[in-house]
């Protein structure tokens, strides 16, 4: 009789955190499905389900290894964990002694599940130079929310706990329906659609619901701030604002009126290349049919005006009174385990650490707690070597940062780098030591990422391959070796510590063992509090936790940092308007905002089931635009800009704005050799992006708004292995070869 | 009783989770997929339509594949599901050609490499050979997860309502775009949806009477955003049985974020 066992856990194949039910037979995972007794109702996406090909993937890293050739040569030799960890720890100690702790960089990718370990390690070592993709994903919005409302976490209330669902929903440069990333779960959003009156999609490219929504606005990439200012203009002109909220709880209302005065629907229509009626219609829906929510996509944070764009959008929320109302933008009451970031926040960033943060003198909103990666690249290239030791976990800076050529050249100059990952990839090849990490089915950890009202558990289902270990263990081992007083004897001790404020079954502190059996803990339904600004929640006598105690349309704090205190529109660094001469040579507006539901950023092109859905990185053009430039559906095309050219497969798509090319971002080819960093120069749009023009507040580059031209690749130019490899391709169920 | 499915084109997000769930459920060979997604993208000059049609075996009432099968390997179950007896199938592929919807696949050797073709079989594949063997040289297609339906009904579970008696793709669908139930029961979820949202079948002119229906509509325009009482109490999130009851949140505590 076969031995069947069911284990419940939490998925982190994207940011999500969907409940998972795994069935094992004789120790082998034979089934994965959603856990019906979870907040995602038993649903799961293709990424999480295809984990079966992740855990048994023959290309997994199994042992610590050291590079025995030159960086990027791919010559590796197995070493022991002790040798690997001791080498890294010794390098860190030497750097601290010889140059100071700020010369150590700790980096992560999306850091889902281990954000807090990255930050704690950096802070415990005494460096503020943590490198994260936050400045192009999520951090700007948190900072701006905090600036305007005093509280850094505003989420869309899709739950109905307060009696209302959102009446108007805006999806702004976001495909929440396929991504559960950043703050919300797609399952909650899609369920709330049964109650929505107005669904507004703002996206140059048709996302799944665009053509069935009430309004679909296709702005030119990089002009979203103007659209937000234009919507506010209409709200002022037509006196549609929420009088009660504005009169009692806001600061700078008249100054904002003055600022948006010029942004008439006509002007916005010219800037954004949209009909002026769209601006008016969206503003009316948003301000009249309240409550409403705006789901912001990180494409807006991959633009060099991201600070003001997000500031404008946040002001738009306030004008309509869509703050803290049931069915609007809400900050959640935390579970009784508290704020998970306290795990790293309890170690303060000292003024000394702050003063050594790379880019901190320039990007006064973004580079206050983490380094500005683009500035680091420039300094490495200039030869002043601000980073001596780089401890990298999970992220692919080579792939996601602007100007790939410069990033590779800079990273090759770092004296010592280690990288932790599940597979070989561009960052691993640039490292001196690689450490093998465990998949989420292979580890125990606390999962508390973005949905702030709940906290979940990853429960280990199977053993990792070879000697792969969990992120938590790796961070703790490094921490123990360099700053032992800030770390723990065992991982379980560390997990207990993170949830200690919760209440255990015996009334004492919650322990990992008890928590892991329970899977989900949190506050929802009647435990949530709305209208916090009308209570003592943030401030005695009511108000927002801002300097003025109000919702700040105008920010004196921002002014004191040298920025405009009100939102202001700026063109992208390279655009038809800002660089008209360049536009003559590169006549298409390009965005790298195309995301697919079965990939997560740079991940999963080595999972055959997922790769089968899209073999090559693909770009989209409107059929008429394609015709204009002589390219056809299915062509492999060159996409060329001032800094280089890449190839992607072209799909003509009527759902994309004419004159815009939408390329797939974050693509490298895991099957390609180490030399050339796994094909990172073949198709990755960041070969084309610039790291010279950055957002003044956050240092974010223009990754989703630049210029390009397109032309068909010649047959002889397609000799790279990737374009001849039929291995992964989707085979239709009914094909000639079967007959 | 006739099992059927209603697919909501307004809600489908082209996420491919249904395909992934099916692959796990049936230990599908690498180059075989039972459900598929067909993209329909049009621009008639003033109106753009971007749609995704999830397709799978239609379990037709008048199934041409059953008629074409010379060995009765393809047969119709009493509950309307078209099934295949792989011991009787000898791979003539008449059914593949007979199906006007192209929803059948012949499992050739080429379609059945290891998941990582240059490497040994994974543990999951080896287990699949035992738990859900596929026979190279026979024809395959979606079977509405009749294993799940049969096992569930033995336990008195209701297909389309109880997970363990419902097709895997329906269970995993995040937008809840798939609904499963009894087409013969006028009060079933599927019958109601077809009636109220003008359900239609693909290519009705083929005359095969599919059991897979589609509905399509504009999102938005809902008359009320008021949450039902069960949503307000928090029980709108289903099945919180495993949740460890949290103590009351400490409201006085400031968010240190």
Determine whether B12 is exposed, middle or buried from the number of CB atoms within 10 Å of its CB (0-12, 13-18, 19+). Answer: buried
Determine whether A490 is exposed, middle or buried from the number of CB atoms within 10 Å of its CB (0-12, 13-18, 19+). Answer: exposed
In a domain, B221, yes or no: no
**Among B180, B17, B34, which Cα is nearest to A33's?**
B17
pLDDT of B71: 97
Size of interface A-B (CB pairs under 8 A): 305
Outline where B53-105 has alpha helix (H).
Answer: 64-68, 94-98
CA atoms of B9 and B19, how far apart (whole Å): 16
Distance, CA of A386 to chain centre: 26
pLDDT of A78: 97
pLDDT higher for B65 or A671? B65
Segment among A477-481, A653-657, B113-117 with least mean pLDDT: B113-117
Q: What is the mean pLDDT of residues A152-169?
A: 93
Interface touch B220/A196, C-beta < 8 Å: yes
pLDDT of A285: 98
Residues of B in contact with A518 (CB under 8 A): 242-244
Nearest-Cα distance to chain A for B197, in Å, is: 14
pLDDT confidence band for A505 (50 / 70 / 90): confident
B228 CB neighbour count, 10 Å cutoff = 12
Q: Considering chain A, what percentage of its residues have pLDDT values greater than 90?
A: 86
CA atoms of A544 and B236, how far apart (whole Å): 30
Fold of the A580-724 domain: Barwin-like endoglucanases (2.40.40)
Distance, CA of A564 to chain centre: 26
**Hey, of A180, A285, A652, A734, which one would you mutate to test binding to chain B, going by the most B CBs within 10 A of its CB?**
A734
Cross-chain CB nearest to B222 (options A36, A194, A537)? A194
Interval B68-120: pLDDT, tens: 999 999 999 999 999 999 999 999 999 999 999 999 999 999 999 999 988 99
pLDDT of B98: 97
CA atoms of A663 and A647, how far apart (whole Å): 10
Residue B109: domain span:
3-215
* Residue A335 contacts residue B255 (beta carbons within 8 Å): no
pLDDT confidence band for A730 (50 / 70 / 90): very low
pLDDT of B72: 97
Nearest-Cα distance to chain B for A66, in Å, is: 25
Interface touch B237/A58, C-beta < 8 Å: no
Pick the CATH number of A4-44 from 3.20.20.10, 3.30.565.10, 2.20.25.90, 2.60.40.10: 2.20.25.90
Interval A193-246: pLDDT, tens: 999 999 999 999 999 999 999 999 999 999 999 999 999 999 999 999 999 999
Tokens read off for A608: 């055959």
Secondary structure element (H or E) that encloses residue A89, with its range? helix A81-98
CA atoms of A52 and B20, how far apart (whole Å): 10
Q: What is the mean pLDDT of residues A641-649?
A: 95
Q: Is A179 left (phi over 0), alpha (psi -120 to 50) or beta?
A: alpha
In a domain, B247, yes or no: no
Q: Is A256 left (phi over 0), alpha (psi -120 to 50) or beta?
A: alpha
Interval A542-564: pLDDT, tens: 999 999 999 999 999 999 999 99
CA atoms of A298 and A279, how far apart (whole Å): 22
* Residue B64 contacts residue B208 (beta carbons within 8 Å): yes
Q: Is A637 left (phi over 0), alpha (psi -120 to 50) or beta?
A: beta
Domain segments of chain A as ranges: 4-44, 65-137+344-447+460-518, 151-333+535-560, 580-724
Q: What is the mean pLDDT of residues A250-275?
A: 98
Q: Which residues contact B156 (CB under 8 A, 6 or more apart)?
A: none
**What is A190-250 written as a DSSP string?**
HHHGGG-SEEEEE-SB--TTGGGSSEEE-PPTT-HHHHHHHHHHHHHHTT-S-HHHHHHHE
Cross-chain CB nearest to A731 (options B31, B249, B256)? B31
Position A722 pLDDT exceeds 80: no
Residues of B in contact with A733 (CB under 8 A): 32-34, 36, 102-105
CA atoms of A699 and A703, how far apart (whole Å): 12
pLDDT of A732: 53
Position B185 pLDDT exceeds 50: yes
Angle at A104 (CA atoms; ends A102, A105), nearest 5 degrees? 105
Distance, CA of A222 to chain centre: 18
Decide: helix, strand or coil at residue A32.
strand
Interface touch B175/A739, C-beta < 8 Å: no
The per-type count for chain A, helices as H runs and strands as E runs, is 27, 27
Question: In whole angstroms, how far apart are CA A86 and each of A82, A454, A638, A732?
Answer: 6, 37, 46, 51
pLDDT of A39: 85
Q: What is the mean pLDDT of residues B23-43?
A: 95
Question: In whole angstroms, how far apart are CA A283 and each of A133, A168, B222?
Answer: 32, 11, 19
Residues of B in contact with A342 (CB under 8 A): 256
In a domain, B220, yes or no: no
Q: What is the mean pLDDT of residues A467-480?
A: 98
Q: What is the mean pLDDT of residues A143-165?
A: 92
Decide: helix, strand or coil at residue A296.
strand
Position A656 pLDDT exceeds 60: yes
pLDDT of A449: 72
Q: What is the mean pLDDT of residues B53-59?
A: 97
Distance, CA of B5 to chain centre: 8
pLDDT confidence band for B240 (50 / 70 / 90): very low
Tokens read off for A35: 């856990």
> What residues are paired with A591 via a beta bridge?
A662
* Residue B33 contacts residue B44 (beta carbons within 8 Å): no
How many domains are there within chain B? 1
In a domain, B239, yes or no: no
Q: What is the CATH number of the domain that holds B59?
A: 3.30.70.20
CA atoms of B148 and B152, how far apart (whole Å): 6
Interval B150-180: pLDDT, tens: 999 999 999 999 999 999 999 999 999 999 9
Tokens read off for A350: 């000292």
Residue of B nearest to A26 (CA): B127
Position A70 pLDDT exceeds 70: yes
* Residue A12 contacts residue A112 (beta carbons within 8 Å): yes
Residue of A nearest to B98 (CA): A734
Q: Is the dihedral of CA A52, A55, A56, A57 positive or negative?
A: positive
Q: Does 3.40.50.740 match the CATH number of domain A65-137+344-447+460-518? A: yes
Interval A120-142: pLDDT, tens: 999 999 999 999 999 999 999 99
3-state secondary structure A68-85: CCCCCCCCEEECCHHHHH
DSSP conformational letter for A38: S
CA atoms of B82 and B154, how far apart (whole Å): 20
Q: Is A350 left (phi over 0), alpha (psi -120 to 50) or beta?
A: beta
Outline where A273-387 has alpha helix (H).
Answer: 276-288, 306-319, 342-345, 351-355, 373-382
pLDDT of B233: 67
**Among A196, A288, A169, A157, which Cα is nearest to B225's?**
A196
* Residue A665 contacts residue A298 (beta carbons within 8 Å): no
**Hey, of B227, B241, B253, which one would you mutate to test binding to chain A, going by the most A CBs within 10 A of its CB?**
B227
Residues 120-179 of B with CB under 8 A from A: 120, 122-124, 126-128, 131, 163, 168, 171-176
Question: In whole angstroms, how far apart are CA B253 and each of A75, A519, A527, B229?
Answer: 53, 24, 14, 29
In a domain, B54, yes or no: yes
**Among A393, A409, A398, which Cα is nearest to A667's?**
A398
Interval A88-129: pLDDT, tens: 999 999 999 999 999 999 999 998 889 999 999 999 999 999
Q: Is the dihedral of CA A277, A281, A284, A286 positive or negative?
A: negative
CA atoms of A497 and A501, how far apart (whole Å): 8
Residues of B in contact with A25 (CB under 8 A): 127, 131
Tokens read off for B218: 């504009």
Beta strands in A537-659 (DSSP E): 551-552, 588-594, 618-621, 636-641, 644-652
b or e along B99-127 (b: 16 or more beta carbons within 10 Å of the residue's beta carbon)? Answer: bbbebbbbbbeebbeebbeeeeebbbbeb
Residue of B nearest to A25 (CA): B127
Pick the CATH number of A151-333+535-560 from 3.40.50.1220, 1.20.1070.10, 3.40.228.10, 3.30.43.10: 3.40.228.10
pLDDT confidence band for B255 (50 / 70 / 90): very low
Position A733 pLDDT exceeds 70: no
pLDDT of A451: 64
**Among A132, A124, A133, A128, which Cα is nearest to A103's?**
A128
* Residue A417 contacts residue A390 (beta carbons within 8 Å): yes
Interval A386-399: pLDDT, tens: 999 999 999 999 99
pLDDT of A715: 84
Whether ipTM > 0.90 holds is: yes
Q: Is A582 left (phi over 0), alpha (psi -120 to 50) or beta?
A: alpha
Helix A224-237, helix A265-272: angle, nearest 10: 170
Position B19 pLDDT exceeds 70: yes
pLDDT of A1: 67
Interval A402-441: pLDDT, tens: 999 999 999 999 999 999 999 999 999 999 999 999 999 9
């Amino acid at each position: 009789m076969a031995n069947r066992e069911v284990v419940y856990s939490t998925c982190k194949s994207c940011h999500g955190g969907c409940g998972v039910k795994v069935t094992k037979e004789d120790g082998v995972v034979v089934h994965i499905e959603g856990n019906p007794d979870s907040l995602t109702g038993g649903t799961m996406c293709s990424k999480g389900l295809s984990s079966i090909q992740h855990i048994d993937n023959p290309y997994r890293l199994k042992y610590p290894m050291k590079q025995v050739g030159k960086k990027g040569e791919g010559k590796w030799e197995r070493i022991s964990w002790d040798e690997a960890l001791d080498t890294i720890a010794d390098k860190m100690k030497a750097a601290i002694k010889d140059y100071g702790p700020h010369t150590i960089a700790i980096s992560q990718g999306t850091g889902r599940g281990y954000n807090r370990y990255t930050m704690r390690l950096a802070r415990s070592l005494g460096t503020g130079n943590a490198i994260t993709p936050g400045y192009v994903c999520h951090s700007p919005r948190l900072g701006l929310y905090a600036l305007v409302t005093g509280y850094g976490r505003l989420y869309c209330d899709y739950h109905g706990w307060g009696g209302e669902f959102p009446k108007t929903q805006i999806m702004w440069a976001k495909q929440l329906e396929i991504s559960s990333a950043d703050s919300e779960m797609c399952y909650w959003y899609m369920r709330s659609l049964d109650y929505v009156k107005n669904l507004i999609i703002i996206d140059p490219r048709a996302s799944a619901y665009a053509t069935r929504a009430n309004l679909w606005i296709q702005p030119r990439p990089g002009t979203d701030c103007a659209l937000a200012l234009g919507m506010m203009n209409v709200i002022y002109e037509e006196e549609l604002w929420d009088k009660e909220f504005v009169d009692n709880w806001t600061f700078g209302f008249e100054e904002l009126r003055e600022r948006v005065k010029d942004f008439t629907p006509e002007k916005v229509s010219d800037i954004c290349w949209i009909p002026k009626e769209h601006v008016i219609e969206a503003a009316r829906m948003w301000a009249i049919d309240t409550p409403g929510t705006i789901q912001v996509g990180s494409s807006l944070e991959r633009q060099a005006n991201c600070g003001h764009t997000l500031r404008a959008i946040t002001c738009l929320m306030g004008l309509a009174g869509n703050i803290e109302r049931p069915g609007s933008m809400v900050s959640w009451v935390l579970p009784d385990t508290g704020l998970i970031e306290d795990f790293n926040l309890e170690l303060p960033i000292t003024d000394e650490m702050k003063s050594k943060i790379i880019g901190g003198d320039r990007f006064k909103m973004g580079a206050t707690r983490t380094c500005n990666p683009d500035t680091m690249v420039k300094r490495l290239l200039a030869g002043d070597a601000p980073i001596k030791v780089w401890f990298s976990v999970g992220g692919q800076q080579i792939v996601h940062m602007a100007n790939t050529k410069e990033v590779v050249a800079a990273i090759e100059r770092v004296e010592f780098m280690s990288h932790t990952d599940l597979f070989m990839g561009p960052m691993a090849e640039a490292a001196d030591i690689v450490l093998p990490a465990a998949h989420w089915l292979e580890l125990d950890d606390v999962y508390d990422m973005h949905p702030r009202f709940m906290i979940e558990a990853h429960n280990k289902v199977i053993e990792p391959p070879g000697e792969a270990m969990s992120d938590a263990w790796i961070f703790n081992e490094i921490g123990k070796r360099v700053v032992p007083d800030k770390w723990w004897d065992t991982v379980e001790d560390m997990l207990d510590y993170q949830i200690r404020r919760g209440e255990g079954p015996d009334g004492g502190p919650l322990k990992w063992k008890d928590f892991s059996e329970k899977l989900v803990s949190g506050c929802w339904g009647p435990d949530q509090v709305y209208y916090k600004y009308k209570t003592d929640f943030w401030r005695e006598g009511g108000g927002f936790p801002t300097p003025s105690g109000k919702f700040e349309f105008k920010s004196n704090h921002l002014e004191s940092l040298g920025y405009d205190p009100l939102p202001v529109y700026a063109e992208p660094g390279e655009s038809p308007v800002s660089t008209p001469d360049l536009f003559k040579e590169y006549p298409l507006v390009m965005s790298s905002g195309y995301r697919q539901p079965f990939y997560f950023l740079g991940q999963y092109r080595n999972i055959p089931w997922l790769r089968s859905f899209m073999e090559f990185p693909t770009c989209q053009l409107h059929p008429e635009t394609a015709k204009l430039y002589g390219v056809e559906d299915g062509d492999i095309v060159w996409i060329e800009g001032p800094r280089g050219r890449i190839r992607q497969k072209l799909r003509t798509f009527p759902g994309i704005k004419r004159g815009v090319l939408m390329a797939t971002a974050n693509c490298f080819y895991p099957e390609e050799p180490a030399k050339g960093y796994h094909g990172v120069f073949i198709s990755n749009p960041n070969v084309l992006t610039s790291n010279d023009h950055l957002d003044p507040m956050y240092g974010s580059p223009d990754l989703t708004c630049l210029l390009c031209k397109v032309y068909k690749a010649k047959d002889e130019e397609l000799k790279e292995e990737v374009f001849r490899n039929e291995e992964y391709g989707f085979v239709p169920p009914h094909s000639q070869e079967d007959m | 009783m006739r099992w059927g499915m209603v697919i909501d084109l307004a809600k489908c997000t082209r996420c491919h989770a249904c395909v992934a769930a099916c692959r796990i459920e049936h230990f599908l060979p690498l180059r075989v997929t039972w459900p598929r997604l067909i993209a329909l993208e049009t621009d008639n000059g003033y109106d753009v339509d971007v749609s995704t049609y999830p397709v799978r075996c239609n379990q037709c009432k008048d199934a041409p594949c059953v008629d074409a099968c010379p060995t009765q390997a393809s047969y119709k179950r009493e509950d309307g599901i078209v099934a295949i007896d792989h011991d009787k199938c000898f791979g003539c592929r008449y059914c593949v050609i007979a199906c006007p919807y192209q929803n059948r696949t012949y499992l050739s050797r080429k379609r059945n490499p290891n998941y990582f073709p240059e490497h040994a079989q994974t543990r999951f594949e080896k287990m699949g050979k035992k738990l859900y063997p596929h026979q190279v040289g026979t024809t395959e297609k979606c079977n509405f997860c009749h294993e799940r339906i049969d096992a569930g009904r033995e336990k008195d579970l209701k297909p389309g309502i109880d997970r363990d008696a419902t097709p895997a793709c329906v269970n995993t669908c995040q937008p809840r775009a798939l609904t499963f139930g009894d087409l013969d029961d006028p009060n079933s979820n599927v019958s109601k949806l077809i009636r109220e949202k003008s359900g239609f079948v693909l290519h009705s002119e083929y005359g095969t009477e599919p059991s897979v229906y589609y509905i399509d509509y504009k999102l938005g325009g809902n008359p009320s955003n008021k949450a039902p009482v069960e949503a307000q109490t928090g029980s709108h999130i289903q099945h919180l049985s495993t949740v460890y009851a949290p103590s009351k949140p400490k409201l006085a505590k400031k968010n240190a974020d």
